[in-house]
A and B are shown apart, each in its own frame.
Chain A
Amino acid sequence: MAMTEQPKGPGLGDWLYDKLFHNYIWSSVFRSGYPSTPRNQMLAIATNVFLHLHPTRIHKTHVKITHTYCLGGLSFFMFLGLTVTGVMLMFYYVPDVNRAFTDVQSLETNVRFGMLIRNLHRWMAHAMVLTVLLHMMRVFYTGAYKPPREFNWVVGVILLVLTLLLSFTGYLLPWDQLALWAITVGTNIAGAAPILGGQSRFVLIGGFDVGPNALLRFYTLHVIALPLLAAIFMSVHFWRIRRDGGLARPL
């Protein structure tokens, strides 16, 4: 009895797959199907607005988790997560000394998933400081700042500063005792500068004490100025990685 391989008829799975991914709407969004040939896989990266920050091909040592521990990527995820949860928090929060605290309080109790959103925002903010520091350490100990990546290291240090400032300005917003006094201590540090200390502290908090002006300033910096700057510097950071020939490798 000669066995010839008969192509199996389409099963339920194939039918479902076909209906889901080969319909008019789906293919209007994703112009091609799953990229299964190397050529299509490269095109998938190069032609997708979100993915095209990547190169299309990458040296195999850089795919190993132990090379980067994903720390830069994680910092970026934190930033995205913070943006999303931050926007949600903004729906409920008014940066006014009479409202801020109660807004946060009622966010925790009255808003469905409000506590979760606030927790996510808080823990990601702390974690981001940590992952950025660890990322800096990994870049250092892999000697990845050497030419031609000098400037990207500098961009990195600026990002570190921005991350710290973002975290610091956000700290004041709940307007509780923890916030007020941490920011008082923190801005006093700035006020200790030898010549312009007092003045710079005054500009930073809009007065002599942490009060309504400080809250408004910190809020504005926290939700607009600093995230915008950070986003700009991150774009430069990522773009430079590609311009400098991908991640560093032994010569």
Chain B
Amino acid sequence: MAVAAPAARARETVRQKRERDQELLVWPDLVFVEFICAVLFTITFVVLATFFDAPLLNKANPNVTPNPSKAPWYFMNLQELLLHMDKGLAGVIVPTILLIGLMAIPYVDRDNEGQGSWFGTINSVRITVFSFFWSSIWISWLILWDNGSHVLVYQHLPQLWGSNTRLQWLGDKNPFAGWPVEGALKPIWDFIFLRNRLAIRDTWSWSLPVPFQPGSGPHDGRLDWPQDFTRIPLPLNGTWLWHWAQPGWMPGWMLHVYWYKSTFSLPAITAEWAVPILAMLGLPALMIIILRKIGWAHTMRDAIIALFTGFIVVYFALTIVGAAFRGKGQQLVPPYRVPNLNDDPAIQRQVPLSPSQFVVVDARTPGSGIYG
């Protein structure tokens, strides 16, 4: 019986009943709407294509790299994501999981409630609005924070009241100087006022006295972040008969998957994997917890609406930032400072050549053109 249960459950799916008295004939009621739609569509695009030309820059040249180089707009969100985490995570793992997640939606949310009408369940509109603001605010904050913008804003605060002095960033100060527990408090202070994500790997530092030397750094009797954490052996490392050399009998392809000499860097993994993953899982989870606490979200559909809305917001937000706010070297700049590739003489849009620069074949006058 246990085996038959899922099938039985699937068959329970309530099918909508036909309401024959509510039905219209497809001809003319639908076919005509489609026809009008097709006509409008055609007119719109012919007009659009008459007035706006598709771009054509200079011929492809592998030696001249435009700065910035950008992916097509619908992949600019991925390109933007690459700036904020490990490349493999942003470019492949996250999109794969998202696609699988999208496909899984109907298998997770199987209740028929609210099906077939816009925002059919009771709290769906407010959940959507909430998720819209939650996601927009967080995604903006994360991009700005990763860019260190909060530091710049703080430093330039005095300009608000007309002064030209710059404040020193809190993270660069040491309020505990000379305290007996300075070594313990300063790292916490620094962590709170980190400049951005990569600072965890590059500038954050602390040091603990230890009786032994576990890390890869100098054997100085102290455990130091980050030096001592950059070459932690993986479990497989050196395990092949406790030899650290390449297992010679292995075919090359196997060596690729057998990490006999691999180490990992905890500071890099923290900055490139852990923090981004924490943000990507934690913030949506927090949103759902809040929605449940304030009593808006009860069902799976509610949770999925919040998540899907967040996905759409982040998808478009990253696209917009990638397209309109990334200038040379993918620096975060206001849109008017994003270089226009058409102004770059190396990339410049081709001025359409005048017909005289081409060989004109005129079929009507024999002997003209290339046959002439």
Contacts and interface: CB of A to CB of B under 8 A. Distances in A.
B57 interface: yes
Contacts of B115: 142-144, 146, 248-251
Most chain A beta-carbon contacts within 10 A, residue among B75, B124, B256: B75
B353 interface: yes
Contact of A81 (B23, B45, B346, B347): B45
Contacts of B312: 137
B4 interface: no
Nearest to A116: B49
Contacts of B61: 177, 180
A137 B312 CA distance: 8
A174 B106 contact: no
A176 B60 contact: yes
B105 A119 contact: no
- Contact-size category for B: 35 or more
B352 A109 contact: yes
Interface in A157-205: 157, 161, 164, 167-168, 171, 174-182, 184-186, 188-195, 197
Contact of A70 (B37, B46, B72): B37
Interface residues of A, number: 95
B59 A175 contact: yes
A74 B37 contact: yes
Contacts of B41: 74, 77, 81
Nearest to B28: A41
A144 B79 CA distance: 31
A123 interface: yes
A116 B17 CA distance: 48
A141 B109 CA distance: 13
Contacts of A176: 55-60, 350
Nearest to B301: A143
Contacts of A248: 16, 115-116
A110 B358 contact: yes
A55 B25 CA distance: 9
Given A119-B54, A141-B119, A146-B111, A65 B33 contact: yes
A129 B72 CA distance: 11
Interface stretch (B85-93, B287-295, B332-340): B85-93
Contacts of A44: 27
A69 B92 CA distance: 33
Interface stretch (A16-24, A25-33, A148-156): A148-156
Contacts of B74: 129, 164, 167
Nearest to B10: A147
Most chain A beta-carbon contacts within 10 A, residue among B56, B92, B117: B56
A56 interface: yes
A71 to B, nearest CB: 10
A35 B27 contact: yes
A42 B30 CA distance: 12
28 contacts: A41-B26, A45-B26, A54-B26, A58-B24, A59-B23, A70-B37, A74-B41, A81-B45, A104-B56, A105-B350, A105-B353, A123-B54, A141-B128, A143-B121, A147-B112, A150-B107, A154-B106, A168-B72, A176-B350, A177-B341, A185-B71, A189-B75, A189-B78, A191-B91, A192-B91, A249-B16, A249-B117, A250-B114
Across the A-B interface, the 9 shortest Cβ-Cβ residue pairs: A119-B49, A192-B87, A150-B106, A248-B116, A180-B60, A122-B54, A189-B91, A192-B91, A193-B92
Interface of A: 35, 38, 41-42, 44-45, 51, 54-63, 65-67, 70, 73-74, 77, 81, 97, 101, 104-106, 108-110, 115-116, 118-124, 126-127, 129, 137, 140-150, 153-154, 157, 161, 164, 167-168, 171, 174-182, 184-186, 188-195, 197, 209-211, 245, 247-251
Interface of B: 10, 13-20, 22-31, 33-34, 37-38, 41-42, 45-46, 48-50, 52-62, 64-66, 69-75, 78-79, 82, 87-88, 90-93, 99, 102-103, 105-107, 109-112, 114-121, 124, 128, 256-257, 301, 305, 308, 312, 341, 346-347, 350, 352-355, 358, 360
